[in-house]
Amino acid sequence: MLRSVAVTPPSVPPAIFQLMALLIAVLGLVTAAFPRQMGRWRMRGSVGTAQIEPGKARLLVTRVMGIVVAGLALVMAFGDPTMLL
């Protein structure tokens, strides 16, 4: 006696979600590669415009967070959707 087994196709997220995750991954990698340029602030005051440069600790944290965000975005883009549950 033969039993039929239902085979479900692999679930793939829609392409727009993969593209957005790739964009987030690229921005995370750019932030990790160039933390000083991505973290520079411009302020206006009574004496004119000044730029605030980030400190060494902030540069390190920005670099680490860029790598973490890029890694999570790549998992979201190419990983199995059930592993995020």
pTM greater than 0.85 (yes/no): no
Region for 48 from its dihedrals, namely left if φ exceeds 0, alpha if ψ lies in -120 to 50, beta otherwise: left
Parse the chain into domains and list their residue ranges. 24-79
For 45-78, write each residue's pLDDT tens digit: 777 777 777 889 989 999 999 999 999 999 888 8
CA distances from 47 to 5, 40, 41, 58, 75 (A): 75, 19, 16, 26, 47
Q: Which residues contact 21 (CB under 8 A, 6 or more apart)?
A: 73, 74, 76, 77
